[in-house]
Amino acid sequence: MLNLDRLPYGGDYNPEQWPPPIWDADDAAFDQAHINTVTLGVFAWSLLQPDEQTYDFSSLDAAIDRAERAGRLVVLATPTGAVPPWLASAHPDVMRTDFEGRRHVYGQRHNACPLSPSFARWSVAMADALAARYAGRPSVIAWHIGNEYGGACYCDACARGFRAWLRARYASLDALNTAWNTTFWSHVFTDWDQIVPPNALSEHWRGEDHTAFAGITLDYRRFMTDAMLARFDAEKQAIRRHDPDTPITTNFMGLYRPLDYHRWADALDFASWDNYPPTMHSEARMALTHDLMRGLKQGRPFWLMEQTPSRTASRDVNPVKAPGVMRLWSWQAIAHGADACCFFQMRASRGACEKDHGALLDHSGRTDTRVFTEMAQLGEELERVGGRLLDARTPARVALLYDWDSWWALEMADGPNRKLSYIDVQVAWYTPLWRRGIGVDVVPVDADLSGYDVVLAPALYMIKDDIAERLGAVAARGGTVITGILAGHVDANANTFPMDDPGPLGPLFGVRVDEVDAREPGDRVPVRCPDLDATGDGGLIFELLHPLDEHTQVVARYAGEWFAGTPAATCRHVPARDGDGQAWYLGTLPDEATLDGLLLAAIARHGLCDPAAPAAPGVEHTVRLAPDGRTVHFVLNHGDADVEVPGPVNGQDLLTGRQVRRGAPLALDAHGVCVIEAD
Least distance to its own copies, CB of residue 638, Å: 14
Cis peptide before 278 (omega within 30 of 0): no
**Residue with smaller CB distance to its own copies, 382 or 494:** 494
Task: Read off φ and ψ for residue 515, nearest 5 degrees.
Answer: -150, 160
* Upper half-sphere CA count for residue 371 (Cβ side, 13 Å): 21
**Residue with smaller CB distance to its own copies, 79 or 379:** 79
Least distance to its own copies, CB of residue 136, Å: 26
Least distance to its own copies, CB of residue 538, Å: 14
- Alpha carbon distance 66, 30 (integer Å): 12
Identify the H or E element spanning 299.
Answer: none
Catalytic-role residue among 208, 235, 306, 620: 306
Residue 425 contacts residue 589 (beta carbons within 8 Å): yes
**Residue with smaller CB distance to its own copies, 296 or 371:** 371
- Alpha carbon distance 454, 209 (integer Å): 32
Identify the H or E element spanning 225.
Answer: helix 214-240
Residue 52 known to be catalytic: no
Least distance to its own copies, CB of residue 628, Å: 39
**Residue with smaller CB distance to its own copies, 156 or 233:** 156
**Residue with smaller CB distance to its own copies, 69 or 315:** 315
* Measured CA angle at 419 (ends 418, 423), to 5 deg: 100
Residue 200 contacts residue 99 (beta carbons within 8 Å): yes
**Residue with smaller CB distance to its own copies, 261 or 542:** 542
Q: Is the Cα torsion angle 471, 285, 334, 361 positive or negative in sign?
A: positive
What is the C-alpha R_g of the chain? 26
**Residue with smaller CB distance to its own copies, 107 or 117:** 107
- Alpha carbon distance 367, 528 (integer Å): 58
Least distance to its own copies, CB of residue 103, Å: 8
* Measured CA angle at 258 (ends 256, 260), to 5 deg: 80
Closest C-alpha among 25, 21, 20, 7 to residue 362 = 25
**Residue with smaller CB distance to its own copies, 539 or 647:** 539
* Upper half-sphere CA count for residue 674 (Cβ side, 13 Å): 32
Least distance to its own copies, CB of residue 543, Å: 11
Least distance to its own copies, CB of residue 31, Å: 21
Q: Is 327 exposed, middle or buried (0-12, 13-18, 19+ CB in 10 A)?
A: buried
- Alpha carbon distance 427, 290 (integer Å): 12
Residue 306 known to be catalytic: yes
Least distance to its own copies, CB of residue 408, Å: 14
Closest C-alpha among 206, 208, 186, 188 to residue 197 = 208
Q: Is 157 exposed, middle or buried (0-12, 13-18, 19+ CB in 10 A)?
A: middle
Least distance to its own copies, CB of residue 322, Å: 4
**Residue with smaller CB distance to its own copies, 108 or 298:** 108
Amino acid (one-letter) located at 380: E
Least distance to its own copies, CB of residue 564, Å: 11
Least distance to its own copies, CB of residue 395, Å: 35
**Residue with smaller CB distance to its own copies, 271 or 516:** 516
Q: Is the Cα torsion angle 136, 48, 150, 40 positive or negative in sign?
A: positive
Identify the H or E element spanning 402.
Answer: none
Catalytic-role residue among 16, 148, 208, 543: 148
Residues 6 or more apart whose CB falls under 8 angstroms from that of 429 comprise 400, 456, 458, 482, 595, 599
Characterize the bridge pairing of strands 398-401 and 631-637: unpaired
From the centroid of its chain, how far is CA 587?
Answer: 26
- Alpha carbon distance 378, 294 (integer Å): 23
- Alpha carbon distance 313, 63 (integer Å): 26
DSSP-derived 3-state class of residue 154: coil
* Strand spans (E) along 104-230: 140-144
**Residue with smaller CB distance to its own copies, 197 or 597:** 197
Residue 248 contacts residue 146 (beta carbons within 8 Å): no
605: DSSP letter: G
Closest C-alpha among 324, 241, 258, 252 to residue 293 = 252
Least distance to its own copies, CB of residue 314, Å: 6
**Residue with smaller CB distance to its own copies, 305 or 389:** 305
- Alpha carbon distance 261, 644 (integer Å): 39
Show which residues are catalytic: 148, 306
